[in-house]
Structure 1
Amino acid sequence: MPTTTKRVEAIAIVHPNAAGLDIGAREIYACVPPDRAGETIKVFGTCTSDLEQLADWFITHRVDTVAMESTGVYWIPVFELLEARGLKLSLVNGRHVKHVPGRKSDGQDCQWLQKLHALGLLTGSFRPDGEMCALRAYLRHRADLVQHRAAHVQHMQKALQQMNLLLPQVVADITGETGMASVRAIIAGERDSVKLAQFRNVRCKSSEETIAKALTGTWKEEHLFALTQAVALYDFYTEQVAACDVQIERHYGVMKPRWEPTAADTPSHAPAQRRKKRKNEPAFDVRASIIRLTGVDLAAVDGLGPNLAQRILSEIGTDMSKWATEKQFTAWLGLAPRNDISGDKVLRSRTLPSRNRAGQAFRQAATAVARSASAFGAYYRRKRAQAGPLFAQVAAAHKIARTVYHLLKYRGGLGGHGRGRVRPQAAGTRCAGLAEVRRQIGVHTGRPGGDRRSGVRLRVVRWPAASRATDCRCLGVSQKSGDAAWGEHPIRIKLRKGRTCGMVAITTSTTDQQERPMPSIPQIAEAMQTLLTATAQDAARATGFHLRQRRMSGAQFVQTVVLGWLAEPNARMEQLVAVAADCGVAITP
């Protein structure tokens, strides 16, 4: 009987001159290809002279690319020195190069890195070019200074509170004009609360009498000393932030743009409306510097602004060729879900935890557009209505990141993603749909008159309440109580379960002259909470609701479970009907 043989192709060597480095605080383990003459594994120190010897050793063994793994920031001087000597460096994530269990040592790690890098199986971490990397270092240092300064503001508040000086309770911010003037007068020796209240700015909402009453305290010597030092440290960090801003502005001036600027291509950066300057913004024109560097106005993207725009720019750079597609870019930011697939089935789809600073900035921008009248704001609210605020934050951040990617790569216009631009057809479609719902259920405004003493009170029940105001306005319902809408037919709530939809009618009746208001679904859920506490998870799983509990509050989760139970006819329906009857609601499945 003939035998068959299967040909196994060996993995090709992609980088024949690859080396591996395992970097620590005191020692660096280096490995060159095994076909080189002499010793292939060597240990070096971490001093500058040792790093020079390491570079000479690599060049002697004809190494042209190096993969390195490190703890903390020990890799930075090694990276910069070897890069200056003409070597191509790749900093790899330790999670991506795990060895076989039980074989862990620095010498084996550098060998394993060299082998994987030679086979082309490693992906280096992103690092911007030299000028952008320096800007990133300045901005990160500035953020640290602002954070350290904030701690001393808390120390000032603590010292004031210990003397029962309630200044933080009567002014919005003690680092504002009114707050700091009062604090500095206290340090200078002023103890008269009436005179201290005269430092009130005309824009302060609290009156002088209220401030004078709040600034009557005990004046303990030890707390005054702590307050004095906290103010001195606050002033010191403020000076350091100002000096850092000067250095950042100087660095912007020496940075060279990657494009050839012309008068026709340079966008105008004049703001559409006067913008209030924020407290921690730099003193120079950040927006103009970004436009000169990139050729596009990133600050005009809704949700960004100058501060977030320069943070993002310093983290991702201006060269978008590092990411072939926008999908790769958003995945690197941590804004794309990772699908765990087994047997052609998606087991889970979620975004992984990420400490990417650019991704965090995009999430912050997504939160900023939650209430804005822009395309991003409307998109955020639609997604929030679907799956909650966390889902909407990631989805909106993903969309903003794609816009920034296209702006930097193609230097095109904003299209419909600028400030104050929203699709009018979306709101019109929603209003028309709600008007049709209102017509079908027979709702009319005004109380029933004559012999019409029974009816149904309509309440808009949605979670999360993303578009509650729009729904109430289109249905003719008062947003707070629903008093203005009555109908002749039961209210029907559509329940989605898989691909099928069920209808549940919830009715209530009124007596001759007395009204019995209909409880809303959250009120019913609160009454059923005791019944559903032990079986909430099982009920939600059995009825097909797979929303994660962490995406919603406890009341919203119970509300979801109640609607799921209403859609499931065999899930102890008689108990739900009995509890609902006690609430004054008749449930007719």
Structure 2
Amino acid sequence: MKYSGIDLHSNNSVVTVTDEEDRVVAEKRLPNDLAKILALLSPWREELAGVVVESTFNWYWLVDGLQAAGFKVHLANTTAIKKYEGLKHSGDETDARYLAHLLRLGILPTGTILAPEQRAVRDLARKRMQLVRSRTTHILAVENITARQQSARISSNQVKQLTADAVDRMPWPEDVALAVKTNVAVIATLSAQIDLLEKRLQEKVGARTEYGLLTSVPGIGQVLATTILLETGPIDRFAAAGNFASYARCVDSVRTSNGKKKGEGNTKNGNKYLAWAFVEAANFALRYCAEAKRFYERKKAKTNNVVAIKALAHKLARACFHILKERKPFDVTRCFA
């Protein structure tokens, strides 16, 4: 049996094939050309137990190409892999061999490989988040300029409604007005593109049963339901609610010894988009759900605001797991008991 590890970079990859005793039988640095990578692996196709690819920013083309060629591909969860720190030397070749080594031992931390069409919709939701963050930057810029010029802030909704003509009517110096108008123009453009993406996402997920069930949870509206649904993927990949809450970064990451905290674990292991979504949902739930408010106040009385919000986010994450798993509407009594 043979095992392959690929250390993927932006413009090249180190491809390694090892045997059952971790001896290298083939190894080469290749440009990121699918045909050349397949040519190196093809002689070992029938013997390969699998090919490990790092979960880097550019893995889509390689994983899809290898799977289309008939190889069994494993996506390595790089945030969960920690190499032995006593090594005197390491490089791309040793990294590729280490991936193959973990696969041979059966202890390779892996990520889920979604179908290309599912990834495309998920990435569309991430693109929307990127545009919203960019728009917020320009909105804050206009709010700050307004505060400097007239000692009073305007709301974000008022900023979104500003036009070039409205800015011209304000008693500001010409250069200040020009600066604001550039922000207003960018805000208008971003808002139009955000609306376009939201409409497309609604077409893709709005009719799904799980989407409707998620919107029954206090604090979760259309945007958060879309994010949670697309970032979760197949709910069956999580063995229990605790696993899902951990993936959503709603579980503490600590190292203890003799009952004392000695540090933190791997805080980046999980999905940052789900972490954001559940904290946002927790903040909204405080406004509209009396049971959530009471749960938050109990936790806050014993700890502090940050811990209480995180605890509420954890509750909502577990509730969403059961909703997606059991296909049942949200149960307030069960969630905040």
Paired residues for 1:92-241 under 5 Å: 92-94=77-79, 96-99=81-84, 100-160=86-146, 164-165=149-150, 168-169=152-153, 173-175=157-159, 177=161, 180=162, 184-187=165-168, 190=169, 215=170, 217=171, 219-241=172-194
Deviations 1:429-488 (A, max 9, x none): xxxxxxxxxxxxxxxxxxxxxxxxxxxxxxxxxxxxxxxxxxxxxxxxxxxxxxxxxxxx
Looking at structure 2, the residues matched to 348 and 64 of structure 1 have their Cα atoms a distance apart, in angstroms, of 41
Q: Secondary structure at the match of 2:328?
A: coil
Corresponding residue of 1:247: 200
Deviation at 1:122, TM superposition (A): 0.9
1:477-514 alpha-carbon deviations (Å, 9 max, x no partner):
xxxxxxxxxxxxxxxxxxxxxxxxxxxxxxxxxxxxxx
Output one character per residue of 1:385-424: Cα deviation in whole Å (capped at 9) or x when no partner.
1112222122211111111111111112323359xx988x
* Pair 186,367 (structure 1): closer, same or farther in 2 beyond 3 Å: closer
Whole-Å Cα distance in 1 between the matches of residues 108 and 300 of structure 2? Answer: 38
Kindly name which structure, 1 or 2, has the bigger radius of gyration based on alpha carbons.
1
- Indicate the SS of the match to 1:353: coil
- Give the corresponding residue for 1:356: 272
Is residue 330 of structure 1 aligned with residue 311 of structure 2?
no
TM-score (norm 1): 0.51
**Of 11, 35, 47, which residue of structure 2 is paired with 1:26?**
11
Distance in 2 between residues matched to 1:20 and 1:64, nearest whole Å: 11
CA 1:298 to 1:93, structure 2 compared with 1: closer, same or farther past 3 Å? same
Q: Of 60, 78, 83, which residue of structure 2 is paired with 1:76?
A: 60
Q: Hey, what's the Cα distance between the residues in 2 that align with 1:390 and 1:112? A: 39
Alignment CA distance shift 1:17-1:90 (3 Å): farther
Following superposition, the deviation at residue 29 of structure 1 comes to 0.5
2-structure distance, mates of 1:157, 1:51: 49
Q: Provide the rounded CA distance (Å) in 1 between the counterparts of 2:167 and 2:115.
A: 49
Render the CA deviation track for 1:19-41: whole Å, top value 9, x for unaligned: 11111122201111236999511
Q: How many residues in Structure 1 have an aligned counterpart in Structure 2?
A: 329
Could you tell me whether the CA contact under 8 Å between 2:210 and 2:229 is conserved in 1?
no
Instruction: Say if 1:370 and 1:377, in contact at 8 Å, map to a contact too.
Output: yes
CA contact 1:65–1:88 (8 Å) conserved in 2: yes
Structure 1, unpaired ranges of 5+: 1-15, 191-214, 253-288, 424-589
- Matches of 1:356 and 1:334, distance apart in 2: 7
Is 2:44 the counterpart of 1:44?
no
Distance 1:102 1:128 in 2: 37
Of 45, 68, 73, which aligns to 1:88? 73
Aligned amino acid, residue 85 of structure 1: A
Cα shift at 1:126: 3.6
TM-superposed deviation, 1:94: 4.9
CA root-mean-square deviation:
3.1
Cα separation, partners in 2 of 1:169 and 1:128, compared to 1, 3 Å:
same
Query: How has the CA–CA distance of structure 1 residues 229 and 60 changed in structure 2, closer, same or farther, with 3 Å as cutoff?
Result: same
Distance 1:143 1:337, change over 3 A: closer
Q: Is the 8 A contact 1:128 1:315 kept in 2?
A: no
Question: Do the aligned partners of 2:167 and 2:180 also contact (CA within 8 Å) in 1?
Answer: no
Q: Distance in 2 between matches of 1:170 and 1:122?
A: 52
Summarize the Cα distance change of 1:158–1:37 in structure 2 as closer, same or farther, 3 Å threshold. closer
Specify which structure has the bigger relative contact order, considering alpha-carbon pairs within 8 angstroms and separated by 6 or more residues.
2
Question: Within 2, Cα distance between the matches of 1:172 and 1:21?
Answer: 47
Partner amino acid for 1:224? A
Matched, 1:408 2:337: no
Hey, what's the Cα distance between the residues in 2 that align with 1:305 and 1:387? 28
* Structure 1 counterpart of 2:218: 302
Report if aligned partners of 2:80, 2:109 keep a CA contact under 8 Å in 1: no
Matches within 5 A, 1:304-453: 304-317=220-233, 319-338=234-253, 340=255, 342=257, 345-348=258-261, 353-354=267-268, 356-416=272-332
Please tell me the residue identity of whatever aligns with 2:191.
T
Distance in 2, Cα, partners of 1:298 & 1:408: 8
Distance in 2 (alpha carbons) for counterparts of 1:170 and 1:96: 48
Contact 1:29 1:41 in 2 (8 A): yes
1:375 Cα deviation from its structure 2 partner: 3.0
What SS does structure 1 have at the residue aligned with 2:309? helix
